[in-house]
Each structure stands twice: as structure tokens, then as C-alpha cells.
Amino acid sequence: MRIFACLLLVLTLYPQTTLAQQDPCQHLAAVSSCQPLLPLLEQGQQQSALLKQVLAASEAYQLQILYTRIELPTTEGQLPKLHYYHYRVQPEHYFYPASTVKLPLAALALQWLNEQAVHGLTLDTTMLTDSQRPPQTAAHSDSSSETGLPSVGHYIKKILLVSDNDGSNRLYELMGQQYINEQLKAKGLTATIINHRLSVPFNDEDNRYFNPIRFVDAAGKTLLALPERQIAKSYTNPDQPKLGKAYYQRGELIAQPMDFTYKNRQSLIDFDGVVKRILMPQLFPVQQRFNISESQRQFLLRYMRMLPRQSQYPAYPELEYPDTYVKYFLKGDAQQRLPEYIHYHNKNGQAYGHVIDGAYIEDTKHGIAFFLTAILYTNANQILNDDTYETDSIGQPFLRELGSLLYQQELVRLQQASD
């Protein structure tokens, strides 16, 4: 990532405004430009019927896009220029963030470890999770790790490689809602709420109890023991968002919109900001960065970029986990492999018809680098939990068309600049 050393920009503080007052460009660093993305998208409509279809019904698809084009310096000593483009970015509009919340959880877990200041406590230290009450579950082993034991680092690997839910839940149980949400707020991520485990049947009260956890060294000595913790405050969505016209619950169709008051939240601006805080922390004031070491940041970067087939512990068969399994913006070759010169750091999400990706993509062969973050909603019948979403037919294919379009435009731009 050659451009990291060149970037010395300082991000301005997030404005103290309500969500409805936020402007898609207000949160950005001092940059060369910030402008609508639509003109660039319109250039691709003739090449892709799917792009044209989604753009024509962008409101129905609840489409939002943030694109940051990085113009690399042509002479030594120059700073790169950052060009921001936005399309229908609406911080006040609720969408379910799905697995994208796992990225701030991973970064905060490393920060939490540092704050304990316990000798020998690292991301590789064995982490044993106990169960105090139903529906909590214990975790004393992990057959996918090299040691056969769980750890913060191994949970993060699984989160970033294949978007593992259990790993995310264990980090949630480690830190608890109060720490997570107060830290996010302190870092300027004021449109993010994380208030529940993923894909397990916990209600709001259950999600405010956090399992007992022990960290032990190689000899079995306890380095740190946390009792079960509980908070009285419920971190809920104050606007009480509702989605769809009906939903299934335990096999029964409920003929009313689904209530997301007690569900996670993350605006596209915040998600884009989390990716940038990890990839380019120098864009942000110190108080808005994750308080992690450079070696910890490199650990996150390694597994944000790593493809499932490249991992040994945990190991993932390529047939089941192709390169594009959690990387939605590029198409890959016929075998769905991405070129070695494409460095794709990201976190994706997909649930309730929402399809999301936030990425930093660098082409080391051609000297191209950009950030791209996007969300669209693919639920034509407006019924949730019926497993009838257009994520595979529209959601993921659209994001691949979008990323490929912007990448190809960068190739053309570089070619024209060299002519």
C-alpha cells in the first residue's frame, strides 16, 4: 500500500448536527473535490443493463454509494489527491447493516485488549467463554485454530475471512454494549448502534447480559477473568425504524412491517469512515482513530485482504469459498479468482435483502487506488424472513458491475493521461 506514506491529510471533526442535517461531504477531510457520482454512473448504463435497471429505480432499491478516487502523485514529494463522489447518501435513512458491524467490533476488540494493560494478554491469548444463563452458550475450544483453542485474534480472522457470526458474537460478549457504543460515539461514529448478537435467538434483555470470560496462558494460568456483566440501558434506535410490509416469525406470517428498534444501525458514512480509519488512520484526528498498535492494524489489514483459499488456520475450501465470497465489487476470472495485483481490503454484509460492501481496492500493477462503499436493498415482495430476496440475482451482481465500472474508468483515465 504505497500511498499510505504519502497521505498526511487531517480529517475535520464530524459536525455536531442531527442525522437529518448531515451533508455527505461535511465529514470528509480537506480534499481536492466532492461531487455527485451520477455522471460517472451514467457512463456505464449503456454497458450494463443491470446498472441501468437499478439506477432507474434507485429509490426502491434504497441505493447509496460513496466513492473515493485516489489520484496518485506523478512526482516524488507530492501528496495524492482525494476526489470524493456521492450518490443518494442519506445518513438519516435506516438500513440494516448486517455483518458490516463486525469490522468496528474487530478493531474495538484489539483496542480493548490494549486497555487492560495485563502482561501476556494479546490477541493470541486463549479466550474461554462461559455461560451463565440461557440462551448464552460457552466456547472452550475451536477446532479451526492451530492450537484448537479460541482467541480474540482467531475470532477476528474468521470474521474478516468469511464473515463468521460466532466470532463476532464472542467479541460482542467480551466488550458489552456500553463499551462498544460509547467508544463508537467518542470516535465520531454517531450514526452507529450495535445492540445485539447475530443470528441467534436473543431478545433485548438477553442481549444486555454478557457472558463470563477468562483469558488463560499456555500453562492454564488465568490472566484476566470477567464475571457476567449486565447493563440497564438499552441502546435502541430512537426513530423506531420499520421495514417491509410483513415478516415471518417462527413460521408465522405477521402482516405488518418489521420493527428494527432493537436492531443494529450503521450509516453509510460511518461504515465508510470505519474502513478509512483502519486503512488510513492519518486521515482522522487522533481521538477519532482506533487506539491500536501498528502491528495490530497490520493484522487487521492482512485479514481484510486475505482470500479464504490463502488461509490455513482457519482453512476454507475454495470450491465453497471462492475469492468473491465476501468481496462483492469485482468479478474475478472464470474461476472467480482475483488477480494477484489486486489488493482488496473490505468488509461485506448481507441480510434482510440488504447487500453491502465497503472496500479499499488497490491495483499495484497499474497504480490505481480507491475506496468504494455501497448499499442496496433487494426485497421486491417487501416480506422479510421469507428467504425470497434478489441478493444473488440483483444485489451482488449490481455491486460487481458498479465496482468493475469504476475500476475500468480508472484504467481509461490513466491511459488517457499517459497519451
173 alpha-carbon distance from chain centroid: 19
- When the pLDDT of each residue in the chain is averaged and rounded to a whole number, the result is 91
What's the pLDDT at 43?
Answer: 86
Beta partners for residue 298, in sequence order: none
Residue 19 clears pLDDT 70, i.e. is over it = no
Which of 27-36, 75-84, 244-253 has the lowest average pLDDT?
A: 27-36
- Tens digits of residue pLDDT in 141-158: 999 999 999 999 999 999
- Tens digits of residue pLDDT in 232-291: 998 999 999 999 999 999 999 999 999 999 999 999 999 999 999 999 998 899 999 999
What's the pLDDT at 311?
Answer: 98
What's the pLDDT at 75?
Answer: 77
- Domains of the chain: which residue ranges? 2-94+266-418, 99-259
Residue 310 clears pLDDT 70, i.e. is over it = yes
What's the pLDDT at 419?
Answer: 72
Rounded Cα distance, 282 and 90, in Å? 26
Specify the amino acid at residue 216: V
The three grid cell numbers given for residue 343, joined into one nine-digit string: 489488493
What's the pLDDT at 286?
Answer: 95
- Tens digits of residue pLDDT in 47-79: 899 999 999 999 999 999 999 998 876 777 666
pTM passes above 0.85: yes
Q: Give the Cβ contact number of residue 303 at 10 Å.
A: 19
- Tens digits of residue pLDDT in 190-227: 999 999 999 999 999 999 999 999 999 999 999 999 99
Q: Which residue would you say has higher pLDDT here, 17 or 419?
A: 419
Rounded Cα distance, 199 and 396, in Å? 21
What's the pLDDT at 302?
Answer: 98
Q: Are 290 and 111 in contact (CB under 8 A)?
A: yes
Mean pLDDT over 32-40 rounds to: 87
Residue 45 clears pLDDT 60, i.e. is over it = yes
- Tens digits of residue pLDDT in 356-405: 999 999 999 999 999 999 999 999 999 999 999 999 999 999 999 999 99
Rounded Cα distance, 57 and 62, in Å? 9
Q: What is the number of helices (H) and of strands (E) in the chain?
A: 8, 18
Element containing residue 273 per DSSP (H, E): helix 268-279
What's the pLDDT at 47?
Answer: 85
What's the pLDDT at 188?
Answer: 95
Residue 102 clears pLDDT 50, i.e. is over it = yes
Residues 6 or more apart in contact with residue 126 via CB below 8 angstroms? 147, 149, 150, 151, 215, 216, 217, 218
